[in-house]
Structure 1
Amino acid sequence: MSDFADGSASDAAIRALADGLLDAIDGGRWSDADADLETLAEEALGCIVQDRADGLAAIARETARCHTALALRHGLGPDAMHRLGQLRAIGVLVNAGRRSRRPHPAEALTRAGTPTAVVLSALDKGPKSGQDLVETTGLSPETVARALPDLRASGLVRSWPAGRLVMNERTDRAR
């Protein structure tokens, strides 16, 4: 897990792995494709075990991209269809891992100065979209996007779709 362990290199390394997988499938190099799929699955499992949400999100994006790219092709042979099924299985693993994240203790999320506390404080005046939270808090979109799942998992924030936006508000537990 050396190349994938740090966040900034993670997206690029996973993207390169996914590109290599698609190239191997296009070229009928099944052993190369299998090696790339195995690496992708191992990295997904490593991200789940180490609670690396950013890495898991990158794997989810690239797995979905590869799956979609293959699924849209006409006339896939049995070997390519087999790898498509493997991608689907990795996608299931990734989604299960993303759903099973253990919530952080509320005390850690509400500690003054943490991004989660800043986001929670911005919700004092009522529901806000993600973009509203970015503007209100001055935090980056990535920081807000990382804070909200933790706040939801701990029961401090609830979210719901409102058209193309997702609205967020404090729960009674957070008051």
Structure 2
Amino acid sequence: MARSNNTLYAILGIIAHGPRSGYDIRKQFNASLRFFWSESYGQIYPMLKQIEREGYAEPVESNDSRRKKLYRITPEGQTVFRQWLSEPVNPINYRDELLLKIFVAGPQDAKAILALLASEREELEKNVAVLKEQESQALQQYHNRVPPTWMLTLRYGIHSMEARLRWCEEAIHDLRGKGEV
């Protein structure tokens, strides 16, 4: 599937949980989805217009004083979304710049690699803390009735980042232990 199609399905999936404005959708991408899927402002709004044109969503007025435009998924949008959910996923095209740099580095680059690993470790520690805080907030906000699919993706993020964090620590230890730094 093309990335733009996945953008369509990501937005349909968000509004399937209830009407959202473009701003609400962007906030959800930035807060919850950003660790495994990102979309820019420039992708979300044109896709919302396309989704509306194709009849997969319809605009509804909000009840608040700002009267912002909300999008609600239509029955046709639900059908298209459910069909997409039932299709097999494409294989992951994994690209990791840190691993590439480590692989092509020579012994003379050990200090630079250690600095990259330390930076990665610091970023991972922050991200794990953010995800654990999101998990705690979700459990409080939904009174322990968080949609199970949200918790599955959240826990995947925590587990995968913790695994990479352990690997970073091991790599730093190994490089320092070999006296290459």
Same fold (TM over 0.5): no
Query: For this structure pair, what is the TM-score category when the shorter chain's length is used for normalisation?
Result: 0.3 to 0.5
TM-score with structure 2 length normalisation?
Answer: 0.34
Q: Which has the bigger relative contact order, CA under 8 A and spacing at least 6? A: 2
Question: Which TM-score applies when normalising by structure 1?
Answer: 0.35
